[in-house]
Amino acid sequence: MGLRLRAHRGPLLLITAILVSVACEVVAKSTGLTENVLWLPTDPLRALALLGAVGPWAALIIRTAARRRAEHG
């Protein structure tokens, strides 16, 4: 089972990033934190919502860049 997950890690991480990002935006909007979570946060809860919406994508980009660097040199 571990080998199958390892072989499909990229698509799984992409799906996870989408789900976490969307969930954080839905929670932020439904709790009234903001209409658009990507605006500059004005308090810690809004900053947390922004991190939840953008963080998974930043992590995915950093992972992809590190993997490419490792493969090419």
Query: Region 28-36: what's the mean pLDDT?
Result: 80
Question: Is the pLDDT score of 56 beyond 70?
Answer: yes
Question: Is the pLDDT score of 19 beyond 90?
Answer: yes
The answer to whether 7 and 54 have CB atoms below 8 angstroms apart is no
The answer to whether 46 and 36 have CB atoms below 8 angstroms apart is no
Question: Is the pLDDT score of 32 beyond 70?
Answer: yes
Q: Does the reported pTM lie above 0.75?
A: no
pLDDT score of 58? 92
Tokens, residue 33? 């934190």
- Angle value at C-alpha 40, between 21 and 52, nearest 5 degrees: 20
Question: Is the pLDDT score of 1 beyond 60?
Answer: no
pLDDT score of 55? 92
